[in-house]
Every structure is written in C-alpha cells, then in structure tokens.
Amino acid sequence: MNLHSLTIKELRRKLAAKEISSKDIVSDLLARIAAVDPQIHGYLRVNAEDALAQAAQADLDKPLGGIPIAIKDNIAVSGEGCTCASKILENYVSPFDATVIRKLKDAGAVLLGRANMDEFAMGSSTENSAFGRAHNPWNLACIPGGSSGGSAAVVAADEAIAALGTDTGGSIRQPAALCGCVGLKPTYGRVSRYGAVAFASSLDQIGPFTKTVEDAALLMNVISGYDALENTSRPVPVPDFTASLSAGVKGLRVGIPREYFIAGTDPEVQAAVRQAIDWYADHGAEIIDVSLPNTEHAISVYYIVATAEASANLARFDGVRYGRRSPDGTDSINTYSKTREQGFGSEVKRRVILGTYVLSSGYYDAYYNRAQKVRQLLRRDFTEAFKQCDVILTPTSPTAAFKAGEKSDPLSMYLADIFTIAVNLAEVCGISIPCGFTASNLPIGLQLIGSHFDEARLLAAAHAYEQGHSWHTMKPQV
Ligand code: GLN
C-alpha cells in the first residue's frame, strides 16, 4: 500500500482503525527513501533500524503515535549526530534531546532521520551543506531552497510524513514555497529553542513542514509552549490549533503590503499571488491596502543582527568542547584557528567575519546599534499594520526554485529572502502554502503573516485557501 503519500491525519485514521501499523508506514517510507533519496539527497542520515524499533513500540493513542518525522540536522537528539551540515560537527553526538524532540517522543512520533541543510542554517539553497547539496523534487537541477532544504524536499517527495526545520530569516517558509509544501515559522517564543543549535538567537524558531495546513496545526499542538529550560520561550497559553481551523475567511481582514508587490518579483509569482488575493476577496474577506514602510531596510538589518549573533554563537566551535579538532595546531591559539579554518565552509566564515566586524569597537554604534534601532521600526510597522488587518498576504519568495549554481554571488542569494526576513525581525508568525505552479511546473508559495502568537488565526486563513484549491495534492514525478 502507498502510505508515504498520506498525511498525518489520514495515517492516524488508518492506525486507529487498525488497518495498518506504524511499522507498515516506516517500511513503506524506507522503500521510498531508498528509491528516490539518491537523487534528492534530502537526508544526511536515515535511522532505518531504529525507526522500525520505535514504530514497534509507538503508543498509537498519543497525538502523533506512530507517525514518522524527519528532523533538520541542527536539532539535538540524544545519542545521535547533529552535524549542522558542517565538517566541524561531523563526529559530534548530542548528549541530550532538544525540547521539541522530547515533545515529539512524548507524543509518540517516530524519528526517521536527519535532513540536509545549509551549513549552520546559513543559506537559501542548501548548496552550503558540507555533505553535498539537496535537489528539488520538482526539478532535480534546481535547488530546494534553504536553509531547511532537506526538510522541505523530503516532505515534498513523500520521503517523510512531516519534518521539523528552523527559520531565522525564511529557512522554513522559503524552502516550503520552492518545494510545494506547507511551512510554518511560529512567533518568536512560541516554540522552545532549547537544543536547536543557535545561529542568530534573537531570530531562530523551530517549526513544522507538512503536506497540509491541518497537519501543521497538529504538529504545532505538540511542539509549542513555554519551556523553563529556554529563557526566550514565552508563557503564553497554547490553544488547540486544530479547533479553529474551519473558522473560514468571511470578514477576515487581509492586509496587502504595497512594499511587497514590487518590480523584481517574477511575473508568474505575482500572478499566482494576485489570484490568491482575488480568492480571499471572493470568499468574503476584506482586502486592505497596508504599508510596511521600513521593508527596504530589512535585509541590511538582518545581515548585521544575524551575523553579529552568529559570530558570538559560533565562537564555541573551536575544537575544544564540540566536534572536530584540527591535528595540525602548534599551540592552543593556532589549534583554534586551524580547527575553524578547516572545519567551517566559506559562507560560515563570511558570516563570522562580518559579524565580528559589526560588533568591533568603533563600528558597534554605526552598525549593530543602528540596526537594532531600525529593527524596532520594522517591528512597529507590523504592529501598526495589524491594527488594520488580521493577516498579511505576500509572496513567500520573489521567484520559484532556481538552478543550482545560478546565484554565485552572496548578495543575490541574500535577496532570495526579501519577503521572509522582516517577519523574523518583527518576531511575528508566518506560513507558506502552495498557491500555483510556473509554466515550467515549479511550485509557487503564498505567505500569510500573523500577529504575535496569532498562529490559530493564521492557520485558519491558510486552511481555508488550501481547502478551496488542489495545489497541495499535486505530486512531483521523482
Ligand atoms: N537565508 C537566510 C540566511 O542565509 C535565512 C536562513 C535561515 O532562516 N536560517 O541567513
């Protein structure tokens, strides 16, 4: 039976009716992975035997009982590697579970394997993986997006029922858009970051990749909530995200920010997103023109704040405590620098150097402090906009998937996140859902943005659109 293409919801029904076992699902996925992952390279490691053992023991009465899930390789699972797709952590083994992993285990999920990514989550194409790039299931010559490109690709190619990723500037939503699946970045503080390897701590969030919006709600029910181990997680009540999914869009105020409908966005993407706006209008939503006037500064602010935080966070990888140590060092300082020189890829080095520069005395005020001030303005833009509307609608990415190797200068890669980055800076939530295809059969993503801790309304708005279309049922021919 083809189980790999089903959703969490559909599999849960079959499991409950005892038509299938969790082992059936895992076996079917393992066969699927063996057949297609050599082309996709969405996985860095698959826990075949262990996943079958977990399936045999899975408590099917739990909310995700028996459901196999892929985990981005920057989230700690006790006893497993956590490479962040970096040579520096190639042989590192996590001694503990991230909070989201403990929650998945408590909910009965089966951890299937570890998804490919850009090194330390820095990138938008998964070409920065030290272990080989991942491929887009819709066109193997194209990138799957990034940095959680592996997570998106394995869900889109039916190699996992769902996956977790992380999003610092778009790394869940952009690859979800480019691979044609659903990806949600929760509000900053909604999901504990404990055990996610920090890239930019004031921006990072863990979130789900799924085949449907309803599945995203199911996963959010499990992974959300305050965590005493993580001091930026917030003690905000967690609603049942599935309960309000059918709220519909009548009377929903949908904000269209004029700064997101700009020249430079691919006309096919623009057209698909415009059709989505029409759909909301036709179904009783109120379409409201809004402005996010500081949008033009988002990328610059992000590449100051994120690199500053990355340079501090990555200082711990010096060969002493974690992972690889260069054998060529002549003394301790030289060992640190050799370890980092040999262990980090070029994009990671670029970020560390940039971040160190913007934090250095003399430049701190000119760059870092100013960026923090503009970040406040960006945050205020969203607060003001959400006085006029309930959700904000934009394209997720200015283009569909591009060819591997096409964006060779860093700046053009950075611009791939132009529509997702401000959401992280403002700490609000955002989801990408499929909204069409280009003439060359590549998926297009629609981004809906919600106010702080308003994921329930965001999911309902996304669910309504999804149910009115069949995009989410389309499958790539791998
Ligand atoms: N592409 C952005 C970057 O390279 C965002 C990455 C992310 O969200 N982890 O930093």
Over the stretch 391-400, which tens digit does the pLDDT of each residue have?
999 999 999 9
Tell me the residue type at 188. Y
Residue whose tokens read 């959401």: 423
Mean pLDDT value across residues 155-163: 98
CA of 413 to the centre of ligand 1 (A): 10
Whether 262 shows a pLDDT value over 90: the answer reads no
pLDDT, one tens digit per residue, over 53-109 is 999 999 999 999 999 999 999 999 999 999 999 999 999 999 999 999 999 999 999
What pLDDT does residue 179 have? Answer: 98
What pLDDT does residue 51 have? Answer: 98
Task: List Cα–Cα distances, 52 to 114, 161, 330, 353, in angstroms.
Answer: 15, 15, 46, 44
Q: What is the pTM of this model?
A: 0.98
Strands 162-167 and 205-210: antiparallel
Q: Based on the residue annotation, tell me whether 171 is a catalytic residue of this protein.
A: yes
Mean pLDDT value across residues 440-447: 98
- What share of the chain has pLDDT > 90, as a percent? 97
Q: Which residues of 164-181 are buried (b: 16+ CB within 10 A; e: fewer)?
A: bbbbbbbbbbbbbbbbbb
pLDDT, one tens digit per residue, over 240-257 is 999 999 999 999 999 999
The ranges assigned to domains in the chain are 3-250+461-473
Whether 36 shows a pLDDT value over 80: the answer reads yes
pLDDT tier at 463 (50, 70, 90 boundaries)? very high
Taking alpha carbons only, the member of 148, 124, 154, 72 closest to residue 404 is 124
Nearest CA residue ID for atom 5, ligand 1:
169
Mean pLDDT value across residues 186-207: 98
Q: Which residues contact 348 (CB under 8 A, 6 or more apart)?
A: 86, 119, 120, 122, 128, 310, 314
Say how far apart CA 216 and CA 205 lie, in whole Å.
Answer: 15
Q: Which atom of ligand 1 is nearest to the CA of 421?
A: 5
Q: Based on the residue annotation, tell me whether 326 is a catalytic residue of this protein.
A: no
Q: Give the architecture (CATH level 2) of 3-250+461-473.
A: Alpha-Beta Complex (3.90)
Please tell me what DSSP assigns to residue 367.
I
Whether 273 shows a pLDDT value over 90: the answer reads yes
What pLDDT does residue 306 have? Answer: 98
Tokens of 254: 């949908």
pLDDT, one tens digit per residue, over 170-183 is 999 999 999 999 99
What pLDDT does residue 264 have? Answer: 87
Say how far apart CA 402 and CA 232 lie, in whole Å.
Answer: 35
What pLDDT does residue 386 have? Answer: 98
Say how far apart CA 166 and CA 173 lie, in whole Å.
Answer: 10
What pLDDT does residue 139 have? Answer: 98
User: Are the beta carbons of 233 and 226 closer than 8 angstroms?
Assistant: yes
pLDDT, one tens digit per residue, over 361-415 is 999 999 999 999 999 999 999 999 999 999 999 999 999 999 999 998 899 999 8
Residues making up the chain, counted from first to last: 478
Q: Which atom of ligand 1 is nearest to the CA of 171?
A: 8
pLDDT, one tens digit per residue, over 414-428 is 988 999 999 999 999
What pLDDT does residue 263 have? Answer: 86
- The residues facing 443 across adjacent strands are 437
What is the enclosing helix (H) or strand (E) of 167? strand 162-167
- The response to whether residue 124 sits with its C-beta less than 6 Å from ligand 1 reads yes
- The response to whether residue 221 sits with its C-beta less than 6 Å from ligand 1 reads no
